[in-house]
Amino acid sequence: QVQLVESGGGLVQPGGSLRLSCAASGIFAIYHMGWYRQPPGKQRELVASITSGDSTTYATSVKGRFTISRDDAENTGYLQMNSLKPEDTAVYYCHVFSRAGVNYWGKGTLVTVSS
C-alpha cells in the first residue's frame, strides 16, 4: 500500500523556521518529489520540486528562504523553510511522481505563521 506521510507542520512566529518531512512507503522508485501548498481560500500551488538528478525548482515567493532535499535511501523528502512569513500559511502537500508514471499525494500538514 502506497503512503505519503507529511510531518513537521505547526504554528511558528514570523521569521521562524520549520522543516517538513515526507515519508514515502510502498513506492519502488521515486522520480520527482515536490511540495505544494494551498493557502486558505486559494488554489494549490507548487512550492518546490526536486528531480532524481537533484535538479530543483522553486516558486519565486520562496526562493532563498526554502530548500528542498531528498534522501532516496530512506524514501523521504524534506522542505526546510526559513524566514517564514504570514503569507506562507497554508496546508502543505507532498507529491511524488514515480518512475512507473504514477502521481501520489500526501494528506497535507498545516503550517501557520502568526505572532
pLDDT digit of tens for each residue in the chain (115 aa)?
Answer: 888 999 999 999 999 999 999 999 887 778 899 999 999 999 999 999 999 889 999 999 999 999 999 998 888 999 999 999 999 999 999 999 988 889 999 999 999 999 9
C-alpha cell at 85: 512569513
Residue 14 to residue 66: CA distance in whole angstroms = 14
First-to-last CA distance in the chain? 40
Predicted local distance difference test score (pLDDT) of residue 27: 79
Closest to 46 (Cα-Cα) out of 103, 93, 106: 93
Predicted local distance difference test score (pLDDT) of residue 2: 84
Predicted local distance difference test score (pLDDT) of residue 25: 86
Instruction: Say how far residue 58 (Cα) sits from the centre of its chain.
Output: 11
